[in-house]
Amino acid sequence: MRKKEELPECPVATTVQLIGNKWKLLILRNLRMRPWRFNELQKSLEGISQKVLTQSLRSMEADGLVVRTAYAEVPPRVEYSLSELGKTMYPILDAMEQWGNHYKAMLCETDE
């Protein structure tokens, strides 16, 4: 995890620094459902490159939002899931979903 001194003073800027890109938000959305394997995540996130997914997962793991679990099997299996800290992001994701639905509903009203 980052040290407090490494984070912006503004709490909104801190949140943006941790999850403020399209891919991290979509990864959080997916991991909210269940643990995912790397290839499953990549297939579900249309347009993400292997490099960006790897960087995003490593960053989120380092920040304590994601847990990487490696199973001692042949072939090796790795799953990604939300940490307890990552699960505290649920209200943010809920609010974004509600706002997105509200916005879409407003657009439909203007189309009529």
The domains located in the chain, with CATH, are 4-111 (1.10.10.10)
| Cα–Cα dist 82/61, whole Å | 9
pLDDT of residue 112: 62
Sheet holding 36-37, edge to edge: 36-37, 77-82, 66-71
- Look over the chain and give the mean of its residue pLDDT values, rounded to a whole number: 92
Q: What is the pTM of this model?
A: 0.86
Contact 27, 60 (CB under 8 A): yes
Name which of 26, 7, 30 is nearest 17 in CA terms: 7
Tell me the pLDDT tens digit for each residue of 4-59.
888 888 989 988 888 888 899 999 999 999 999 999 999 999 999 999 999 999 99
